[in-house]
Amino acid sequence: MRAARDRPEPAPARATALGRSAEDLDAFQEFYVATVQRLVVYFTRRTLNAEVALDLTGETFAVALQRRQQFRGTTNAEAEGWLFAIARSQLSHYWRRGVAERKALEQVGMDPPSLGQAELERIEELAGLPELRRRVRHAISGLSPQTAYAVTQRIVEEREYDDLAAELGVSQDVVRARVSRGLRALAATF
C-alpha cells in the first residue's frame, strides 16, 4: 500500500495555459486560442447578434486578462469554467446597460461600428443561428395565433404589455398569460 506521501499531488494551476499566464503572457494567448470560438458561440446564441457577441467576447477576455492572477483552478475545465463565469457576468451587464446605450446612440444619431456581412454570417453559422431560427419559427407556428402574436410582439418587437393589451382589447394579465404560456411551450420544444 502506498503511503500518503507517495500519492501524486494535484497539478498546480501553472499546468493550465491560464495558470501559466500569470507569469507568462504568451500562455494567455494559448488560452485565448483554445477557448475563443466556444465563447463567441455562447454569446451569439444568447444575443442572436454576432457583433454584440464579438464585443462581449473581447470584454470577457479583457477582464480575464486583468484577473488572471486570481485563477486558482488546476485543470483546463476549471479554467474554462472560470472564463465562462466572467462571460455570464458580462452578459448580465450587457442586458442591464444595453437599453441605455442604445438610447444614447439613437439620440446622437450614431451607429456602433460594424463588421462585414461575410464575417457576421460566418459567426452566425458557427453559432448555429440559421438552424436555431428555423426551429424557433417552426415552434412559433405550432402555437395558437393569439399566443404566437403575443410572444412575437412582446419578445421580438419588445412591445409593452399595456400597449398590446390596448391593441387586443384584453387585460394586461391576459397578454402576460399568453406570453408566459407561449414561452413555456417554446422552451419545451428545445
Do residues 14 and 101 share a domain? yes
CATH for 171? 1.10.10.10
Do residues 118 and 137 share a domain? no
Q: How does pLDDT run across 155-178, given as a tens digit for each residue?
A: 877 788 898 999 999 999 999 999
Domain annotation covers residue 57: yes
Residue 102: the pLDDT is 63
Domain annotation covers residue 49: yes
Do residues 13 and 56 share a domain? yes
pLDDT grade, residue 48 (50/70/90)? confident
Do residues 46 and 88 share a domain? yes
Residue 117: the pLDDT is 77
Measured in degrees and rounded to the nearest 5, phi and psi for residue 158 equal 60, 35
Longest dimension (CA), the chain: 78
Q: What is the DSSP letter of 13?
A: G
Report the mean per-residue pLDDT for the chain.
Answer: 83
Residue 132: the pLDDT is 82
Q: How does pLDDT run across 22-41, given as a tens digit for each residue?
A: 888 888 889 999 999 999 99
pLDDT grade, residue 59 (50/70/90)? very high
- Non-local (6+) Cβ contacts of 72 within 8 A are 13
Question: Is there a contact between 56 and 90 (Cβ–Cβ < 8 Å)?
Answer: yes
CATH for 84? 1.10.1740.10
Nearest to 127 by CA among 190, 42, 55: 42
Domain annotation covers residue 27: yes
Domain tally for the chain? Answer: 2
Question: Is there a contact between 63 and 86 (Cβ–Cβ < 8 Å)?
Answer: yes
Residue 112: the pLDDT is 62
Residue 146: the pLDDT is 93
Whether 190 shows a pLDDT value over 50: the answer reads yes
Do residues 81 and 117 share a domain? yes
Top pLDDT among 90 and 97 is at 90
User: Which structural domain, as residue segments, surrounds residue 152?
Assistant: 128-189
Checking 32-39 for CB contacts under 8 A at 24+ apart, the result is 32/61, 34/76, 35/79, 35/80, 35/83, 36/61, 37/126, 38/80, 39/83, 39/84, 39/87
Do residues 132 and 113 share a domain? no
Secondary structure (3-state) at 91: helix
Whether 98 shows a pLDDT value over 70: the answer reads no
Do residues 28 and 117 share a domain? yes
Domain final residue, candidates 124, 140, 170: 124
Do residues 143 and 180 share a domain? yes
Do residues 134 and 159 share a domain? yes
Residue 188: the pLDDT is 81
Do residues 110 and 56 share a domain? yes
